Amino acid sequence: MRCPYCGAFDSRVLDSRPAEEGNSVRRRRECSECGRRFTTYERVDELPLMVVKKDGRRETFDRSKLLAGLITACQKRPVPINALEELAGEIERDLKSTMEREVHSRDIGEQVMRRLRELDEVAYVRFASVYREFRDVQEFMREIEQLITRKI
């Protein structure tokens, strides 16, 4: 590791510890040339997960967009924000664990709906109404009837 102060390549590790919830390693180093100390972070180099949109465009998966959608669906509902953050993290982990580099937006939407149904039924219906793009009240009512039927 190159010293940020003198540019020397030789340094020794003084301390290592997990950082960022175990996703990286923080290393405290000392330069062998100038003796100054500095910190480095080591992370796994991941390929980005790409989302294939309905129109065929591709964009990088963005956890914050997923979380924003969950927050919108749960607005004015008794669902704690940490439950939504945990849900977004679970979905992200599931998507990345498949080892696929591309995922269709509909697959993400289906995962969100399945998990929201268990977490909060009103939030589920809100999300489904936007995600499924209901064209009329009858489609909306069919979705609610299916939800009621599953509960019985």
Letter for the amino acid at 113? M
Whole-Å CA distances, 41 to 19, 63, 98: 8, 22, 26
Instruction: List the chain pLDDT tens, one digit each, 152 residues.
Output: 899 999 999 999 999 999 877 778 999 999 999 999 999 999 876 778 999 998 999 999 999 999 999 999 999 999 999 999 999 989 998 998 888 899 999 999 989 989 998 899 889 888 887 777 777 778 778 878 887 787 76
Q: Are strands 50-52 and 102-104 parallel, antiparallel or unpaired?
A: parallel
How is the chain split into domains, by residue range?
Answer: 11-43, 50-151
